[in-house]
Copies of this chain bind each other. A is one copy, B any other.
Amino acid sequence: MNRDQLLNELSAFLRIPSVSTLPAHNQDCRAAAEWVAQELRRLGCHDVQFLGSETHPVVWGAGPEIAGAPTLLIYGHYDVQPPDPLAEWTTPPFEPSVRDGRLYARGAADDKGQVFCLLKAIAASPRPPVNFRFLIEGEEEYGSKVLFDLVEREPQRVHADAILVADMSYVAPGWPAVYTTLRGLAYAEITVRTSKTDLHSGEYGGAAPNAHEELARLLTRIKGEDGKINIPGFYGPVQRPSKTELAAWKKLPFKEKDFLNKRVQGKGLVGLRKYSVLERLWALPTFEIHGVLGGFTGEGAKTVIPAEATAKVSMRLVPNQKLKTVERQLEAAVKRFAPKYVTASVRFLHGADPAQIKLNDPSFKLLDQAFKQVLGRGTVPARAGGSIPVVPALASGGAPVILTGIGLPDDRLHAPNEKLELKQLWDGIEVFRTFYELLGESGRG
């Protein structure tokens, strides 16, 4: 298939605004699932099903049966993050646009472009080299509940010789990676209430508590200026990476200065300064504020003392931290840090335990070999700062989970102007085609 046609097909997929966290996009999520199902049918899948949800189904498929060949389960997701702030996109998020060899669209890298790459690598094989299974879900950006429930109900869905997850990136251009940990996630809303209704700041200002002020103070108590998260017990189970691992990270083509200037594009980095930036990103937990609601945020001026304010926050968790424990710790910290005259509460929206993966299955060597053949450099072991909530569930059947991907670190996932470099896509199709064939040969050996 020629590249123009491939680009047209991928663009059609990217045009569907399948934002899973916004109910207004339920039908778009369904449409993206239909798109995936159609592709699986074109690959010869005999058993394409929508499982677990009408609006955000897991798309299941099983390819043609190849006697004696290993079984490879391919995981990916067709849902995307919300595109706001819209004004910061150079071209609209759901109108894919190619500029300078880069394809710009929400989902270009996370994860539609990568799902597309995995599927087209199968189509590029003269004949299917392995037994393919597919679990392409529609709630990765919203906690993967449908897929969690499915795997609990039907654990055989994750039975395979290996599971391939391409939702990640190279550690640098030319440096493909395989990941050994994923951070977990606990997403919550912290709400403080200080009075029954909003109050006039002239009539009450100076004596009535202000919910925004109390929330700001509470948030600064939870996380200090030094970057330390002051939730009691939070760091208890956190372990430092081994000396070998830390030494290996030093050899990666990662420069803190470039990270600041080219990726953050800010004036300085923050966090626990006694650890390297890579350690902060890959091996330490976080507490981030995503947005703050309450009071008056319209145009112009309104002099109101807000009665209630809510912060949307999340914590990234590292191996040995447990989601349920961290949720209890945050709740206790909020109660402890809020003054008596404030009613404070926490509501948890979704979350995921962290994941840890050992690279001892032979399939990791085959992926390494495929990258070497195509790019001239194999995979480096790395850790991931992001989360794929369902990875522990995928691993529950005992199959090795191969976490890799064709993105680059500056793809601006979850941010305006998300992109995928076309070179990465074309290389990726060739790499995965090679990997499938190597895996098929290994099964027949």
Contacts and interface: CB of A to CB of B under 8 A. Distances in A.
13 contacts: A21-B299, A81-B302, A141-B301, A142-B301, A195-B265, A196-B265, A202-B413, A204-B264, A208-B269, A212-B219, A216-B216, A291-B296, A304-B414
A223 interface: yes
Name the residue in A21, A88, A304, A311 with the highest tally of chain B Cβ atoms < 10 Å from its Cβ.
A304
A194 B260 CA distance: 11
Interface in A339-373: 339-343, 349-350
A283 to B, nearest CB: 9
Given A198-B85, A297-B292, A413-B203, A209 B142 contact: no
A82 interface: yes
A266 interface: yes
Contacts of A208: 264, 266, 269-270
Nearest to A195: B266
Interface of A: 21-23, 81-82, 84-85, 88, 141-143, 183, 185, 187, 194-210, 212-213, 215-217, 219-220, 223, 225, 227, 259, 263-272, 277, 280-281, 284-286, 288-306, 309, 311-312, 314, 316, 339-343, 349-350, 384-387, 409, 412-417
Instruction: Name the prevailing secondary structure of the A interface residues.
Output: loop
Contacts of A141: 301
Nearest to A194: B266
A216 B215 CA distance: 8
Given A88-B197, A208-B270, A212-B219, 8 more contacts: A142-B301, A195-B266, A202-B413, A204-B385, A206-B284, A207-B280, A217-B220, A302-B414
Contacts of A291: 212, 294-298, 302, 306
A210 B296 contact: no
A142 to B, nearest CB: 6
A295 B303 contact: no
Contacts of A217: 216, 220, 225
Contacts of A185: 202, 303
A81 B201 CA distance: 12
Contact of A385 (B202, B281, B285): B202
Chain multiplicity (copies)? 2
Given A268-B340, A290-B304, A385 B295 contact: no
A205 B290 CA distance: 11
Contact of A21 (B22, B280, B300): B300
Nearest to A312: B296
Contacts of A343: 267
Contacts of A268: 209, 339-341
Q: Please name the 7 residue pairs, one residue from A and one from B, whose CB atoms are nearest each other, closest first.
A: A268-B341, A202-B386, A21-B300, A196-B265, A206-B280, A205-B286, A212-B289
Contacts of A197: 88, 265, 412, 415-417
Contacts of A85: 198
B280 A316 contact: no
B296 A200 contact: no
Nearest to A349: B301
Contacts of A277: 207
A343 B267 CA distance: 8
B281 A206 contact: yes
Given A295-B291, A341-B270, A203 B301 contact: no
Contact of A303 (B196, B216, B288): B288
B415 A304 contact: yes
Name the residue in A207, A268, A284, A342 with the highest tally of chain B Cβ atoms < 10 Å from its Cβ.
A207
A130 B204 CA distance: 37
B198 A414 contact: yes
Contacts of A195: 264-266
B267 A201 contact: no
Contacts of A205: 281, 286, 288, 316, 385
Contacts of A81: 302-304
Contacts of A88: 197-198
Contact of A203 (B270, B281, B292): B281
